[in-house]
A and B are shown apart, each in its own frame.
Chain A
Amino acid sequence: MAVIHIDGKQVEVNGADNLLEACLSLGIDVPYFCYHPALGSVGSCRQCAVKQFNNAEDAAAGKGRLVMSCMVAPTDDMYISVDDDEAVAFRKSIVEFLMTNHPHDCPTCEEGGHCHLQDMTYMSGHNKRRYRFTKRTHHNQEFGPFIAHEMNRCIACYRCVRYYKDYAGGKDLGVYASNNRVYFGRDKDGQFESEFSGNLTEVCPTGVFTDKTHSDRYNRKWDMQYAPSICHGCSVGCNISAGERYGELRRIENRYNGEVNRYFLCDLGRFSYGYVNREDRPVQAIEHINDKHVKINVNYALDETVKRVKDKKVIGIGSPRASLETNFALKKLVGFDNFSTGLNRHQQSLVEKCIEVLSTEGIYNPSVTDIESHDAVFILGEDITQTSARVALAVRQAAKNEKVKMAHALKTPEWLAEPVQRIAQKQLSPVYVIDTVQTKLDDISKVSCVATPEDIAALGFAVADMIAVQSDDLQQLKQLAAEIEQDQPQNDQDADPMQQLAQQIALDLLLADKPLVISGTGQFSVAVIEAAAQVAQALTSKRNAIKEYEAQQVAEFNAQIEAQAQNKNEADAEVAEKPALKQVTPNYNQQAGLYLTVPNANSMGVCLLGGKSVEELLATEFDAVIVAENQLTDAIDIEKLAQLLTDKTVITLDHQNLHWHKFVDIVLPAASFAEADGTLVSAEGRAQRFFQVYDPSYYSNKNCIKEGWRWLHAVETSLNEMPLDWTQLDDVINELVATHPNLEGIKQAAPEADFRISGLKIAREPRRYSGRTALRANLSVHEPMQPKDLDTALTFSMEGYSGTQTPSAMIPFAQASGWNSPQAWNKYQKEIGGSLKQGDPGVRLFDLLDAESKYPKRDYIRPEMTQPIKTSIFQGQAKLVPVHNLYGSSPMAHRSPVVAGQMQAASFYISADDAQHWQVRDNDWLAVTIDGHRVELPVQVVPYLAAGCIGYPVGQAPILHGHLPASVTKIDPPLTESESGVVNETQPDLEGQGG
């Protein structure tokens, strides 16, 4: 903390921040461009100038010098002025300079209305154009379907390259040329390689990088209706702000959550919302009559559903991508024993294993932001860049902790971005990655290797064993690590490489201040998860021992010194100074972190709710089955499903028209995340509420989309002739927590429906929202009332509260007076880049477990190594391993046309070495038969893959049980695409939809 004087006022600021951050945290508007809370300061734009004085007298006399506030650390008794005339004039000049080359584009610019440059220009008082000469112009590049490029709008703040390269580890964005011709772009046209490229649209303070998926149906920020929502793309649980206009979801923006995603999303989360806008969505109920799908009206649909399930043995299949509320409604409808999580046995055992581990004593699972504070990371069998992208971005920051430490040693603060990089050069905190594939994190990893899932688990257990046998003396460990580092080359031959690696990893994890283990369900292997848990546990207990040993040593040493000092004192007080007392290393954390990823947005939630696996439930006696928002073919193969559903009544609620729906009798149109409220539980166990963005029926009276839970409750009440007692979301939640006390925490995920701020609900629309009364003018000139939101404290209107007092979980969009761009989040934070004013959204359920409800600590046992299966193309035998792809593995993403359009075709992956042995080349075709399924795909040879394995694209090929033995043959390429075993969900079966 430092006490400083700003324009005559004495204030207390965080001395670890820079002056700009301090001002912004105090609510003082200082304009800036090149600084970004996540990227630090570089001092290039010169916009944030303030005046600094030597002392109070100089301050009074106005005698000082301009400094860039972002480059200065506040120190006690510092005098500065933001309002000083020279500072004000200089800031005005800077914007004027920027504007000399900036085009007069605002009316046609997609950035308009949420443009940081507009805001800062206004804030700086530049409102008269004096420059009368020509502007320099640039060519634009073509970046593919997600991001547009308009270089003329560039103000050369360098944020894009700093974000893309330095923060996100991307390689294909650079800065070229010099002087005022500097150019920011790729080395050639083409799509960005980074999974985090979409953040450029928010990082860039101007309209150079804009969201193309939005441009196609563009509208101004102030003309969108927003809801605070949660990304459904994966299990990380990033917070998003979803914007709608005219009944279409039009843009996903980052919504700040200081503990989860902070400023950044992955491209899957940002760009893959298109499935919500699909034309073939069931917006009306559909009945399957004589091989035709026929649209039916709501009442009929409900009656018919009730009629078909009445007095029948009904079972219900929930879904890991449906809300807790919908899953619960189904569970209640069919009876707690007749409910399935919607996962198959294997999938469920994996998620349950994660839950078990995270509910065990002594296990700590960090939030995404917390991941960034770790300084050694061991990633076991999870390709996080593809399965939980935002976590990978956090790990990239964790790797930089070594840089921060080195900078601190030279008294250089963390936010001084360039010096931190310069001081550390290539030094990184240790990151180890072991996976079946080469991952994108290999550029930051100390060692990155590929192995079979069995060997991955084996390495995990080896590391755990290695940790357990190490000394408790940190100094000894350091020595050992240094020795190993030195004579590694000689060791190579004699020692087992796995043991060697395990020792190296063990030592780095023990020597770090704060180590982290990351794993998850990506290998579909329980053993891998258990191995990760075992490492985390071994680490924590060894680190406790180390700390204890150190404390003991220090105490002994200090006692000795004290004793000596005393003796000396008695003899001759003046002789020598007392040697310094030792202290226990302050930063050494005993606790090791463990982060486990799971497959879907609500995998955790549905398994915490509890239910049978799909196979188990379908094996029971039943007449009718109700399926909620489940792509069942992800859990059970389609032939089996066909068999099991023969002669049964099948009802489904969904927002997508899925291939397997051909077996369904009635499809009830369910709401997607954009049209529904609900609760999800992320991989870290964070329960978070997402809110309805808009009411689709406002735009079309034919539209009878309803939240899954509403449909199910309606069915239940009609069926049992009971009153409709769930009139709002809170009713569902109340009943859910009453019956499932383990989920009690979800109630606190957001305020209830009767929450008000000064008597007002929270407005989903910005104050300036225009054309509300004409939205439906094409249908009718009558102006209907805006829809009423009974479920939540949000309102479908601009009339309501809008501002920084909004509870964190309910901020629909970021805007504050003078701040229209995403930089407006500043205004919602306690301190710049920190937590939101009222705490960060979400409730971490595993943190709420008390000691009794936790599992006691246990040892996980290394599984018996069975003779591993190996692929041999010549003998027709195959071992498959899963290969994840950001878009491919996500069940909904590839249903978005824009995403599908850029996806790589599904193929089998083979390592270069194996391809050579097996005489297989790129674009050869293989037929793999597994679990009675024949899948034919072309081959893609990749530099690295677990030896003796064939990688299959998860989610893009109908392979559900990759761990089973398989056979393989080389085949001739098929004549047409349709012969392959790939289900093309982008062109689903549309028959019967016409009626």
Chain B
Amino acid sequence: MSENTQNTAAMSQSMASEAQPKRLSIAEQFARRKQGKAPSQLNEQRVPIYGDKETATIETRPLTWRLAHHDAILDLATYQSLRGFEGLKNALEKPAKEVGDMIKAANVRGRGGAGFNAGLKWSFMIPPDGGPRYLICNADEMEPGTFKDRLLMERLPFQLIEGMLITAHAIGATDGYIFIRGEYIIAAERLMAAIDECIANNLMGDNILGSDFSFHLHVHTGAGRYICGEETALINCLEGRRANPRTKPPFPQISGAWGRPTVVNNVETLSNMPAILVNGVDWYQSLPNEKGNSTTPGTKIFGCSGLVNDPGLWELPFGYSAREIIEEFAGGMQQGKTLKAWLPGGASTDFLTVDHLDTIMDFDSIQKAGSRMGTGLIMVVDEEQDMVPLLKNLEIFFQRESCGWCTPCRDGLPWGVKLLTAIDEGEGQVGDIEKLEGLTRDLWIGKTFCAHAPGAMEPLMSAIKYFRHEFESKIVVEAPPKVDDETSQWAQSEIQKVMSTMGATKPVASTHTGTESNNHSDATAGTEEGVNTAASKPSDVK
């Protein structure tokens, strides 16, 4: 590492010496698993998710403060001993409408990525007509770089359930589903066990806690496919159909699962509800005051992955900058690495650069910087990374996960992958970058059926914007291939021979025409040495 690198790197070095992140060996991983630990319990963060054990309370770290007391809260008694279901009890004392209005006023911005005010979303539900109404928890979490919902479910299952009960009460839902990705096996088990315990204690089922509120919650597990995270594709999957997104409007609140009014919220969004019902709207609104840099209410689970010293998750009030998260919480870049770019919240957000590190991590400021906060889990890219294969990796993900419903996404993404592959393998052509840019226009919001393809375009667009030179440097401007020279010489001599027999002195035709008009043919065909023997040539020139 050279002396004069960015201070990011320098800082990381100093941090690294302080606390070496602990890396579990395979044997240790097995041992912990044997003890019943879930994957999210295996990370040993230098700064715990709840921050400081002393100051973590329901007021300061409403989502994760309980983890300061127990590694995971897996039984009802423990949860209740830590103010569990207080929020629900408060909610049940209020009419549904009041709870909904509270949450709307609190402005809980959706943590699934889009940041839509949850209470406002609920208010679009059509009025009850006696039929079933659904609340769905989106626990599909497959956005690359995102691992927050796993923790909330594996370690705080009752909190999510309580959040769902409060929400169900507010929107008049009769049944609920936690749609959880198939790979989160322990999370699903823990949620099911928690639900069973709730049922046994009148916290779930008919007439909950003696009220006239009844709610039935089920866990539904998926079987892979990122698109299931899109809320309407999720509903199709839940109904046992192919996970293609659905037409909007009508929105799920009007006609969702099984055609009935439905609300879909993210795990983290729903996990916010209990504390709001305990501490109130004003408290929730005041949380960002801690830093004073943001007006977005509440706390958020931020995180960081990539080659940092301490990847992990931290619950923080809004107002922290990306730099603070990367350097103070994630311990800065690993030794010898320099930050080059970062994704603010998952693979489907635009890259930002070192210049944006001081941007506050909240919905509006990140958007102003030209990206999206997405899931708020930062991923850092270091200087050693070549953006072309990196983008290829991202785009392979998106093309593989396309649901195959609409043309631009289904057929455009593979083209993008092929272009990136060609560029990466030295077979890029002039115009390929422009074609990629064309894709970013054609696969943009409103032009595709859902937000999957635009999500795929965000990192691509921003990568070309900030790192165009890396793409360009890989495209060798086509020089006439060697073999073509031989051919033209051969052809010239052939023509001369013919001409001479005809008594003409000079060849009439220029031999260039052949190669010029060949510009659009497959580049690989003519360049491989040894493949094109002279014997195959005459017809080409004619």
Contact = CB atoms under 8 A, between A and B. Distances in A.
Interface string B366-410: 000000000000000000000000000000000111111111101
Contacts of A44: 405-407, 449
B242 interface: yes
A67 B404 contact: no
Contacts of A412: 249-250, 255
Contact of A180 (B246, B254, B410): B410
Contact of A133 (B242, B254, B402, B422): B422
B225 A71 contact: no
B407 A47 contact: yes
A179 B404 contact: yes
B403 A424 contact: no
Given A175-B242, A422-B255, A425-B259, A132 B523 contact: yes
Nearest to A178: B404
Q: Which of A43, A67, A101 has the most CB of B within 10 A?
A: A43
Contact of B408 (A67, A71, A94): A94
A425 B258 contact: yes
B28 to A, nearest CB: 37
Interface string A88-107: 00100110011011000000
B408 A93 contact: yes
Interface in A126-165: 128-133, 136, 155-156, 158
B447 A418 contact: no
Given A179-B402, A423-B250, A156 B259 contact: no
Interface string B433-448: 0010010001000111
A410 interface: yes
A71 B404 contact: no
A401 B126 CA distance: 23
A910 B381 CA distance: 73
Contact of A178 (B403, B407, B415, B520): B403
Contacts of B249: 412, 419
B247 interface: yes
Contact of B438 (A93, A94, A155): A93
Contacts of B225: 178
A49 interface: yes
B442 A93 contact: yes
A344 to B, nearest CB: 52
A178 B402 contact: yes
B247 A416 contact: yes
A66 interface: yes
A884 B91 CA distance: 64
A182 B404 contact: yes
B190 to A, nearest CB: 30
A43 B249 CA distance: 12
Q: Which of B406, B407, B415 has the largest count of A CB atoms less than 10 A from its CB? A: B407
Task: Determine which residue in B406, B412, B415 has the highest number of CB atoms from chain A within 10 A of its CB, and name it.
Answer: B406
B232 to A, nearest CB: 9
A65 interface: yes
Interface string B228-265: 00000000000000100011011000110011000000
Nearest to B414: A180
A803 to B, nearest CB: 32
Q: Give the one of A181, A422, A423 with max B CB within 10 A.
A: A422
A423 B251 CA distance: 11
Contact of B402 (A90, A128, A158, A180): A180
A314 B406 CA distance: 69
Interface residues of A, number: 45
Nearest to B126: A410
Given A419-B250, A423-B250, A45 B407 contact: yes
A46 B449 contact: yes
A158 B401 CA distance: 19
A410 B131 CA distance: 15
B259 A97 contact: no
Interface string B148-159: 000000000000
Interface residues of B, number: 41
Contact of B407 (A46, A130, A423): A46
A966 interface: no
Contacts of B446: 65-67
B449 A43 contact: yes
A42 interface: yes
A47 B429 CA distance: 28
Interface string A384-412: 00000000000000000000000000111
B418 interface: yes
A410 B250 contact: yes
Given A175-B242, A410-B254, A100 B415 contact: yes
Nearest to A102: B411
A722 interface: no
B415 A97 contact: yes
Which of B225, B249, B411, B449 gathers most chain A CB within 10 Å?
B411
A984 B246 CA distance: 53
B403, B405, B422, B449 interface centre (most CB from chain A within 10 Å): B405
B250 A179 contact: no
Nearest to A136: B414
B449 A133 contact: no
Contacts of A419: 246-247, 249-250, 255
Contact of B411 (A100, A132, A416): A100
A180 B247 contact: no
Interface string B93-128: 000000000000000000000000000000000100
A441 B410 CA distance: 36
A181 B399 CA distance: 11
B411 A101 contact: yes
Nearest to B257: A422
Interface string A24-44: 000000000000000000111
Contacts of A861: none
Contacts of B247: 42-43, 71, 416, 418-419
Contacts of A66: 446-447
B522 interface: yes
A132 B522 contact: yes
Nearest to A421: B259
A177 interface: yes
A48 to B, nearest CB: 11
Contacts of A416: 247
For A47, A178, A425, the residue with the greatest tally of chain B CB atoms inside 10 Å of its CB is: A178
A4 B305 CA distance: 52
A155 B411 CA distance: 9
Nearest to A181: B404
Interface string B5-28: 000000000000000000000000
Contacts of A425: 258-259
Given A65-B446, A422-B255, A97 B412 contact: yes
Nearest to B243: A178
Contacts of B429: 132
Nearest to B246: A418
A28 B323 CA distance: 55
A410 B255 contact: yes
A304 B411 CA distance: 71
A49 B400 CA distance: 25
Nearest to A45: B407
Given A45-B407, A131-B415, A412-B250, 11 more contacts: A46-B407, A65-B446, A67-B446, A90-B447, A97-B412, A100-B411, A129-B520, A178-B404, A180-B414, A418-B246, A425-B259
23 contacts: A44-B405, A46-B447, A46-B448, A90-B442, A93-B412, A93-B438, A93-B442, A97-B408, A97-B415, A98-B411, A100-B415, A130-B435, A130-B520, A155-B407, A179-B399, A179-B404, A179-B410, A180-B404, A180-B413, A181-B404, A182-B404, A410-B255, A422-B259
Interface pairs A-B: 9 shortest CB-CB:
A97-B411, A182-B404, A133-B418, A179-B402, A423-B259, A93-B442, A178-B404, A418-B247, A423-B255
Interface of A: 42-47, 49, 65-67, 71, 90, 93-94, 97-98, 100-101, 128-133, 136, 155-156, 158, 175, 177-182, 410-412, 416, 418-419, 422-425
